[in-house]
Amino acid sequence: MSDTINFNNTEIAFGTRTKKELLRAKFLFGMLEYGWLTRMAKPLLNIAFKSRLPIDPIIKKTIFSQFCGGESLMECKTKIDALYNGGEIMSILDYSVEGAENETSFDQTLETLLKICEFSEFQKQVPFLVFKPSGLGSLELFEKVSNGSPLDDIEMEKWNKVRNRFEMICESVAKTENLKIMVDAEESWCHTAIDGLTEEMMVKYNTQRTVVFTTVQLYLSKKIDYLRKLKALGEQNRIKIGVKLVRGAYMEKERDRALEHGYESPVCEDKSSTDQNFNNGGNYVLENLDVFDLFLGTHNELSCLQLVKKLKERNISNSDERIWFGQLYGMSDNISYNLAERGYNVAKYVPFGPVRDVMPYLIRRAEENSSVGSQSSREMELIKKELLRRKNSQ
């Protein structure tokens, strides 16, 4: 077997996909290449939902089915089993209901996360849980705490509830034998508060094993400094530090806000400097694996190949439990399946939730796809290649 991983191997990438599924994916990624269509989708869907048009079944059979595991945990079970049985790919169950905005909805999200924990504890194909901090507390509150602004009595009570929610889900995961939990990313102006809570949970629960993972967005130019801070935290407290490295998803919003408020943009100036920052982050974590566990969350083939190369150079086993690769469900199967086939640890983010509640998440994913452009084009290229290979092999 060659040492080089071939991300163009579509036979491995789409081995579990039927022709019908490939044709549906081809249609969807074809639509995503038209940015104007994605921009129109948001207001049109809002109108359709408000008018109570029966469009849920159409959405469920198309974009929802491509990018989501199901509406409930039991619906997800079929897909997470298929991922595992089809290529030993693990799953991260991601409750993707966005827009929680009051204490009741924050408590409901926590309740769902605790149910996911209970469900996942005995599912060997689900090693990670994940949550967005904005599901457990308001972004306005995270921003205020990050700024060091004084909180009134009501806000302080709410902040204590946020801390308790963080504590409850992290403690539940820590009590299991193997489950781990990722704290997902938000906008940079909320990071100080979120990082503070996450570090608190790491110090408390990462003493025996790596339970809590933080997310580091490396399209923010100064995040290498934060990795150094995390290393010091790990050494001082004799704990393991779990880090999920991503490029990031709020680039335009970050730049617009910096311009509006008159401060220097925290975002790397261009794609090449973002790529360099991301690769530097990965290298730094690899150099310090005595402190870190690494989850590389990326759809960038070159970044994955670079990590594979570095692991070989350092004589680190493909299946080393400290190293994970991750992609989103329904995308980059050429990366996920070809890495898993070589014995690397791979996990797919599997979003789930009621169709209407998950739509904001799906639209955001569509917007990211169409703005990057090249991602949809790459998916189309691979799907066409596989369809042609199957036709020629008949």
Query: What are the residue boundaries of the structural domains of the chain, listed by start?
Result: 62-361
The residue length of the chain stands at 394
Torsion of CA 247, 249, 251, 256, to 10 degrees: -150
Q: Residue 52 has what pLDDT?
A: 74
The upper half-sphere exposure of residue 11, i.e. CA atoms within 13 Å in the direction of its Cβ, equals: 6
Q: Residue 363 has what pLDDT?
A: 75
Tell me which residues of the chain have a pLDDT lower than 70.
Answer: 1-3, 34-43, 45-46, 49, 98-100, 365-374
State phi, psi for 69 to the nearest 5 degrees.
-85, -25
Q: Residue 96 has what pLDDT?
A: 82
Q: 361 Cβ partners below 8 Å, 6+ apart?
A: 96, 97, 98, 351, 353
Write down the pTM of the prediction.
0.93
Q: Residue 56 has what pLDDT?
A: 76
In whole angstroms, give the CA distance from residue 41 to residue 56: 14
Q: Residue 28 has what pLDDT?
A: 85
Q: Residue 374 has what pLDDT?
A: 65
Secondary-structure class of domain 62-361 per CATH: alpha beta
Q: Look at residue 214 and give its three-state secondary structure.
A: strand
In tens, the pLDDT along 160-176 reads 999 999 999 999 999 99
Q: Residue 33 has what pLDDT?
A: 72
Q: Residue 212 has what pLDDT?
A: 98
In tens, the pLDDT along 227-265 reads 999 999 999 999 999 999 999 877 788 888 889 999 999
